[in-house]
Structure 1
Amino acid sequence: MSIYVGNLSYEVTAEDLGEIFKEYGTVGRVQLPTDRETGRPRGFAFVEMGTEAEETAAIEALDGAEWMGRDLKVNKAKPREDRRSSGGGGNWGNSGRSSRRNYN
Protein backbone atom coordinates (compact mmCIF):
# COMPACT_ATOMS: atom_id res chain seq x y z
CA MET A 1 0.00 0.00 0.00
CA SER A 2 1.60 3.18 -1.19
CA ILE A 3 0.54 6.82 -1.20
CA TYR A 4 1.78 9.49 -3.61
CA VAL A 5 2.46 12.87 -1.98
CA GLY A 6 3.02 15.75 -4.38
CA ASN A 7 3.68 19.49 -4.33
CA LEU A 8 6.16 19.15 -1.48
CA SER A 9 8.54 21.85 -0.35
CA TYR A 10 12.14 21.09 -1.32
CA GLU A 11 13.09 21.38 2.35
CA VAL A 12 10.95 18.36 3.36
CA THR A 13 12.76 15.30 4.71
CA ALA A 14 11.62 11.69 4.92
CA GLU A 15 11.51 12.11 8.70
CA ASP A 16 9.16 15.11 8.36
CA LEU A 17 6.79 13.05 6.21
CA GLY A 18 6.92 10.10 8.57
CA GLU A 19 5.91 12.35 11.46
CA ILE A 20 2.89 13.72 9.59
CA PHE A 21 1.68 10.35 8.33
CA LYS A 22 2.11 8.49 11.63
CA GLU A 23 -0.88 10.46 12.94
CA TYR A 24 -2.98 8.22 10.68
CA GLY A 25 -1.36 4.86 11.35
CA THR A 26 1.77 2.80 10.95
CA VAL A 27 4.26 4.22 8.48
CA GLY A 28 6.25 1.47 6.79
CA ARG A 29 8.58 3.34 4.48
CA VAL A 30 8.99 6.84 3.08
CA GLN A 31 10.68 7.33 -0.30
CA LEU A 32 11.74 10.87 -1.21
CA PRO A 33 13.18 10.71 -4.75
CA THR A 34 16.05 13.08 -5.49
CA ASP A 35 17.38 14.58 -8.68
CA ARG A 36 20.34 12.55 -9.99
CA GLU A 37 22.41 15.59 -10.86
CA THR A 38 21.72 17.97 -7.96
CA GLY A 39 20.76 15.54 -5.19
CA ARG A 40 17.83 17.82 -4.29
CA PRO A 41 14.38 16.37 -3.58
CA ARG A 42 12.11 16.33 -6.63
CA GLY A 43 9.03 17.68 -4.85
CA PHE A 44 7.15 14.42 -4.37
CA ALA A 45 7.32 11.29 -2.24
CA PHE A 46 5.82 7.87 -1.65
CA VAL A 47 4.63 6.76 1.78
CA GLU A 48 3.73 3.17 2.67
CA MET A 49 1.12 2.66 5.38
CA GLY A 50 0.33 -0.45 7.40
CA THR A 51 -3.25 -0.98 6.26
CA GLU A 52 -5.62 0.22 3.57
CA ALA A 53 -7.79 1.90 6.24
CA GLU A 54 -4.78 3.89 7.47
CA GLU A 55 -3.91 4.80 3.90
CA THR A 56 -7.47 6.02 3.23
CA ALA A 57 -7.53 8.06 6.44
CA ALA A 58 -4.24 9.77 5.56
CA ILE A 59 -5.35 10.53 2.00
CA GLU A 60 -8.68 11.99 3.14
CA ALA A 61 -7.06 14.13 5.82
CA LEU A 62 -4.02 15.37 3.92
CA ASP A 63 -5.11 15.82 0.29
CA GLY A 64 -5.34 19.58 -0.24
CA ALA A 65 -3.99 20.38 3.23
CA GLU A 66 -1.47 23.18 3.52
CA TRP A 67 1.92 22.11 4.85
CA MET A 68 5.15 24.08 4.77
CA GLY A 69 3.51 26.72 2.58
CA ARG A 70 2.24 24.26 -0.04
CA ASP A 71 -1.12 22.63 -0.76
CA LEU A 72 -0.41 18.90 -0.73
CA LYS A 73 -1.58 16.52 -3.44
CA VAL A 74 -2.14 13.15 -1.76
CA ASN A 75 -3.60 10.05 -3.43
CA LYS A 76 -3.06 6.35 -4.02
CA ALA A 77 0.15 5.75 -5.92
CA LYS A 78 -0.29 4.37 -9.41
CA PRO A 79 1.88 1.53 -10.67
CA ARG A 80 5.01 2.74 -12.41
CA GLU A 81 4.82 2.60 -16.19
CA ASP A 82 7.50 0.85 -18.20
CA ARG A 83 9.74 3.74 -19.27
CA ARG A 84 11.65 1.64 -21.81
CA SER A 85 8.92 1.70 -24.46
CA SER A 86 9.25 4.66 -26.79
CA GLY A 87 5.60 4.65 -27.82
CA GLY A 88 6.57 6.76 -30.83
CA GLY A 89 7.21 4.04 -33.33
CA GLY A 90 10.93 4.77 -33.49
CA ASN A 91 10.73 8.44 -34.47
CA TRP A 92 13.08 9.39 -31.63
CA GLY A 93 11.86 12.85 -30.87
CA ASN A 94 11.05 14.19 -34.33
CA SER A 95 7.29 14.07 -33.66
CA GLY A 96 6.59 11.87 -36.66
CA ARG A 97 8.12 14.27 -39.19
CA SER A 98 10.26 12.89 -41.93
CA SER A 99 13.95 12.90 -41.11
CA ARG A 100 14.85 13.58 -44.74
CA ARG A 101 16.20 17.00 -45.53
CA ASN A 102 15.72 18.83 -48.77
CA TYR A 103 19.00 20.43 -49.87
CA ASN A 104 17.62 22.01 -53.08
Structure 2
Amino acid sequence: MARPVIERRLREVAGRLIRLRADLAVAEEQLAHLDDEADDARVRHLVAETPLSERGRREAERQAQAMARHREDLLAEMLRLEISQDELLDRMSVDG
Protein backbone atom coordinates (compact mmCIF):
# COMPACT_ATOMS: atom_id res chain seq x y z
CA MET A 1 0.00 0.00 0.00
CA ALA A 2 1.34 3.43 -0.92
CA ARG A 3 2.53 5.68 1.89
CA PRO A 4 0.10 8.54 1.01
CA VAL A 5 -2.82 6.09 1.22
CA ILE A 6 -1.65 4.84 4.61
CA GLU A 7 -1.22 8.41 5.87
CA ARG A 8 -4.72 9.34 4.68
CA ARG A 9 -6.21 6.31 6.40
CA LEU A 10 -4.30 7.09 9.57
CA ARG A 11 -5.72 10.63 9.57
CA GLU A 12 -9.23 9.24 9.05
CA VAL A 13 -8.83 6.74 11.88
CA ALA A 14 -7.38 9.41 14.19
CA GLY A 15 -10.32 11.70 13.44
CA ARG A 16 -12.83 8.96 14.12
CA LEU A 17 -11.07 8.09 17.39
CA ILE A 18 -11.26 11.72 18.51
CA ARG A 19 -15.00 11.80 17.78
CA LEU A 20 -15.55 8.47 19.52
CA ARG A 21 -13.68 9.65 22.62
CA ALA A 22 -15.94 12.70 22.78
CA ASP A 23 -19.01 10.49 22.30
CA LEU A 24 -17.74 8.16 25.02
CA ALA A 25 -17.36 11.03 27.48
CA VAL A 26 -20.96 12.07 26.83
CA ALA A 27 -22.20 8.48 27.08
CA GLU A 28 -20.41 7.96 30.41
CA GLU A 29 -21.92 11.15 31.80
CA GLN A 30 -25.39 10.14 30.64
CA LEU A 31 -24.92 6.62 31.98
CA ALA A 32 -24.01 7.96 35.42
CA HIS A 33 -27.15 10.12 35.38
CA LEU A 34 -29.36 7.25 34.18
CA ASP A 35 -27.89 4.89 36.80
CA ASP A 36 -28.74 7.46 39.48
CA GLU A 37 -32.27 7.75 38.12
CA ALA A 38 -32.64 3.95 38.11
CA ASP A 39 -31.45 3.80 41.72
CA ASP A 40 -33.94 6.50 42.69
CA ALA A 41 -36.72 4.66 40.87
CA ARG A 42 -35.85 1.43 42.74
CA VAL A 43 -36.07 3.23 46.07
CA ARG A 44 -39.36 4.90 45.09
CA HIS A 45 -40.75 1.50 44.11
CA LEU A 46 -39.65 -0.07 47.41
CA VAL A 47 -41.43 2.69 49.30
CA ALA A 48 -44.57 2.95 47.14
CA GLU A 49 -44.96 -0.66 45.94
CA THR A 50 -47.44 0.36 43.25
CA PRO A 51 -47.77 -0.78 39.64
CA LEU A 52 -46.92 2.75 38.52
CA SER A 53 -43.71 2.79 40.55
CA GLU A 54 -42.82 -0.66 39.17
CA ARG A 55 -43.30 0.61 35.62
CA GLY A 56 -41.13 3.65 36.38
CA ARG A 57 -38.43 1.41 37.85
CA ARG A 58 -38.43 -0.89 34.83
CA GLU A 59 -38.28 2.03 32.40
CA ALA A 60 -35.42 3.70 34.27
CA GLU A 61 -33.47 0.43 34.34
CA ARG A 62 -34.15 -0.16 30.65
CA GLN A 63 -32.79 3.28 29.76
CA ALA A 64 -29.68 2.76 31.88
CA GLN A 65 -29.08 -0.65 30.29
CA ALA A 66 -29.49 0.78 26.80
CA MET A 67 -26.93 3.49 27.56
CA ALA A 68 -24.55 0.90 29.01
CA ARG A 69 -24.84 -1.10 25.77
CA HIS A 70 -24.18 2.07 23.76
CA ARG A 71 -21.08 2.76 25.87
CA GLU A 72 -19.85 -0.80 25.28
CA ASP A 73 -20.43 -0.38 21.54
CA LEU A 74 -18.36 2.81 21.55
CA LEU A 75 -15.55 1.07 23.42
CA ALA A 76 -15.61 -1.85 20.98
CA GLU A 77 -15.46 0.51 18.00
CA MET A 78 -12.57 2.39 19.58
CA LEU A 79 -10.69 -0.86 20.12
CA ARG A 80 -11.31 -1.88 16.51
CA LEU A 81 -10.00 1.46 15.27
CA GLU A 82 -6.95 1.33 17.53
CA ILE A 83 -6.11 -2.12 16.14
CA SER A 84 -6.57 -0.78 12.62
CA GLN A 85 -4.34 2.17 13.46
CA ASP A 86 -1.62 -0.17 14.77
CA GLU A 87 -1.83 -2.27 11.60
CA LEU A 88 -1.50 0.83 9.43
CA LEU A 89 1.50 2.01 11.42
CA ASP A 90 3.08 -1.43 11.05
CA ARG A 91 2.55 -1.28 7.28
CA MET A 92 4.04 2.17 7.18
CA SER A 93 7.19 1.06 9.00
CA VAL A 94 7.55 -2.06 6.83
CA ASP A 95 7.00 -0.16 3.59
CA GLY A 96 9.15 2.49 4.88
Aligning the two structures, in what range does the TM-score lie when normalised by the shorter sequence? Answer: under 0.3
Higher CA-based Rg? 2
TM-score by length of 2: 0.23
Greater relative contact order (Cα < 8 A, sep 6+):
2
Indicate the structure with greater helix content: 2
